Structure 1
Amino acid sequence: METFTKRQSIVPPSFQAWHDSFHFTPATRVGDIIWVSGQVGLTAEMKAGEDMQAQARIAFESLKAILDSAGASLADVVELTTFHTDLRGEMEAFQAVKDEYFPHPYPSWTAVGVTQLGLPELCVEIRAVAVAGSGEG
């Protein structure tokens, strides 16, 4: 007989207002797999980072906090998808920050250029898939 694992919504306390206001779950975990909703460069005060690098750091820190609440870490990320409003112009700046958070071995990564994100001041959104316990360390 097969055993199915139930879906678990991951809503860290600092994301509860977003969850309630925008009706989305920051992450969903089924078994060891965790799907993290897109994270953007907005602070808790809803202020956007000044540039690509600042927004990327804010988004990666949010990703890290959500994974921690889900019982995983950045080392467990197996896939990143990033959405950029200036894919070619800001890729070097983005990649420098990404490499701070994801040293070798790198996760799979797809970067997509988009015309807009949820707010006009946003320039990047980061979503991820992780497998809890799969990373090094």
Structure 2
Amino acid sequence: MNTREVIIPQGMEILYEKYHYCPGIKVGNTLYISGQVGRDENLQVVEGVEAQFVQAFENVKKVLTAAGATFDHVVEMITYHVTDASQQQFTIPHLPLFIKVKDQYFTNNFPTWTGVGITALSTPGLIVEIKCTAILEN
């Protein structure tokens, strides 16, 4: 049986200590990354659409780095995007901008990607959550 290694990057300790979840868990050579959002180390929501996208990817990067991985190791990405249900248009807002930011992080090996429109995330003001799975070298 593979052992389970909890991955908690510096600055994300509060997620484990206060909210009781792991930013990442490595089992064998597979790294599972919890959904990362556009919050800073003080858990404050970052202002601005592009800045929030960048912060969410930077948070994913912190978990990858703490596990000895890079974006090249990511094989699956699932993103959750808050939609504006009041307009009865259930499309993912700011998708071209999100793709532009994503492409700054995924430059070589592209993962599978599922994008989901939702009505809300855990904290008011959040607009995206990024969950990834990575396969590390043995």
User: What TM-score, normalized by structure 1, do the two folds share?
Assistant: 0.90
Deviations 1:92-128 (A, max 9, x none): 1111100111124311000000100011100000010
Kept in 1: contact 2:72–2:108 (CA 8 A): no
1:76 aligns with 2:80: no
Calculate percent identity across the aligned residue pairs: 36
Name 1:99's counterpart in structure 2: 103
Bigger mean CA offset, 67-76 vs 117-126: 67-76
Secondary structure of residue in 1 paired with 2:94: helix
Name 2:117's counterpart in structure 1: 113
CA RMSD after TM alignment: 1.4
After TM superposition, give the deviation of residue 66 of structure 1 in Å.
Answer: 0.7
2:20 to 14, 23, 37: 23
2:92 to 80, 84, 88: 88
Kept in 1: contact 2:82–2:92 (CA 8 A): no
| Structure number with higher helix proportion | 1
State the 4+ residue runs in structure 1 displaced beyond 4 angstroms: none
1:122 aligns with 2:129: no
Give the Cα–Cα distance (whole angstroms) in 1 for the partners of residues 108 and 68 of structure 2: 21
Kept in 2: contact 1:52–1:124 (CA 8 A): no
Secondary structure of residue in 2 paired with 1:100: helix
Counterpart of 2:46 in structure 1: which amino acid?
A: G
1:36 aligns with 2:40: no
Which sections of structure 2, spanning at least 5 residues, go unmatched? 84-90
Name 1:11's counterpart in structure 2: 8
Secondary structure of residue in 1 paired with 2:69: coil
Deviations 1:62-92 (A, max 9, x none): 1111111112111100000000003532111
Bigger mean CA offset, 33-42 vs 6-15: 6-15
Counterpart of 1:122 in structure 2: which amino acid?
A: L
